[in-house]
Amino acid sequence: MPAAIHHEILLSGSPQQVYEALTDPERFAAFTGAAAEIDPVPGGAFACFGGLITGRTIEAIPGSRLVQAWRVFNWDEGVFSIARFELVATDEGKTRLVFDHTGFPEEHRGHLDPGWHHKYWDPLKKYLGA
């Protein structure tokens, strides 16, 4: 079975606010503390965490969904995974982020799975006031 990570995170703020934090370079830098270059249109390139993570945007539906071909700098050349961020508004005015990361080299699961929490979800919760 291919390598996969699934997270469901409850965040304060609207799906649009979460989407903008993930796709706007200034907002991304504000919540992660790391500079980013992000072109959030299909085919647009992105690089974050000083180029440690790079890739291309596959699908971008503001306030709803972001899908990226995503890779870490030390993976074999030409190896990309798929990171899918689905944003769903809750009745409480929050956002349920349904995240799936698939196709990464299995040997990297040990740092990727907790890394999403450490580098993305925990700082994003703090940034959004959750």
pLDDT tens digits for range 2-28:
689 999 999 999 999 999 999 999 999
Name the 3-class secondary structure at 15.
Answer: helix
* Number of domains forming the structure of the chain: 1
Boundaries of domain holding 13 = 4-128
Span 108-119, pLDDT tens digits: 999 999 999 999
Q: What is the CATH number of the domain that holds 8?
A: 3.30.530.20
Read off the DSSP letter of residue 40: -
**What is the spatial distance between Cα 35 and Cα 78, in angstroms, rounded to a whole number?**
24
- pLDDT band with cut points at 50, 70 and 90 for residue 72: very high
Report yes or no on whether pTM surpasses 0.85: yes
